[in-house]
Amino acid sequence: MSQATPSREGEALYSSLHHPRFAAFYEWMTQLGSCRRVSDPVRQELVGQASGVVLEIGAGTGLNFPFYTPERCERVEAVEPDPAMVRYARQRLGLARVPITLTSASIETLPFADQTFDSVVVTLVFCSVADPLQGFREIQRVLKPGGTLLLLEHVRAQGTIEARLQDALVPVTTHLFGNCHWNRDTAQLLKDAGFQITRLRQVAKGLLQPIIAVQAVSAAHPPVSLNDTDQF
């Protein structure tokens, strides 16, 4: 049902995004029972809203693959630039209930035509994207008019002291955790790129690592009714 599509050109182009130690650590950490009890329900809720032809950006180790539902999804194109992550993701293709094609590609240069996808899913990715504004613009480009972006991300802390501590530790997090910039205000970047947030919910309230779930549409193609205070 699902397949991996390794690209020689893509693997060469994104070889600099190769973090085997972090990929191994991430795979181990996300399989801990304490982690799965928290993350699996959130992933299932968010990914379960995807419909039609779906693009998953930064598929990582493939943790979202089992949560796409055949009742809603026609197929999924999943992209991941890190070969170390792709190795784990390939092993999870067999858990998918919908057709998934896995390709080595970067969010800044997505290998898809304009207005291809009904939904785009991105979970815990934008902290590590080299050019987040360009990444959001590429999502806008490949989304169909009226299409939906479903985003899960840890973001900048709200407290002044906590945010400054995040800033101070960025050299450490980028070095150890796959280029993670945990101090980014991703919701604001999303708006700056021309998206309109239709729903936002804080799913984790850690002082140094708050996590938000967001549903958004391109401001150029808003739905009939928008309310930024709506909740998942």
- Give the chain's largest Cα–Cα span: 49
Lowest mean pLDDT among 62-76, 82-96, 107-121, 178-192: 178-192
Q: What percent of the chain has pLDDT over 70?
A: 88
Average pLDDT over residues 142-151: 96
pLDDT at position 203 = 87
Sheet with strand 210-218: strands edge to edge: 3-5, 100-103, 73-79, 52-57, 117-123, 143-154, 210-218, 195-205
Cα 51 versus chain centre, distance: 16
Q: Which of 66-70, 121-125, 207-211 has the lowest mean pLDDT?
A: 207-211
- What's the rounded Cα separation, in Å, for the pair 67 and 173? 29
Lowest average pLDDT, out of 8-22, 49-63, 99-113, 197-211, goes to 8-22
Across 78-113, b (16+ Cβ under 10 Å) vs e yields bbbbbbbbbbbbbebbeebebbbebbbbbbeebeee
Coil/strand/helix, residue 145: strand
Helix (H, G, I), strand (E, B) or coil at 50: coil
Give the pLDDT mean for 143-165: 92
Q: Check: CB of residue 15 under 8 Å from CB of residue 86.
A: no
| Domains in the chain with CATH codes | 3-218 (3.40.50.150)
Say which residue, 214 or 173, is predicted with more confidence: 214
| pLDDT at residue 79, rounded to an integer | 98
Q: How confident is the model at residue 7 (pLDDT cuts 50, 70, 90)?
A: very low
Q: How many CA atoms lie within 13 A of 180 on its CB side?
A: 18
Alpha carbon separation from 128 to 42, 87, 102, 192 (Å, rounded): 20, 19, 19, 18
Region of residue 8 (phi > 0: left; psi between -120 and 50: alpha; otherwise: beta): alpha
| Confidence at residue 15, expressed as pLDDT on a 0 to 100 scale | 42
pTM for the predicted model, two decimal places: 0.85
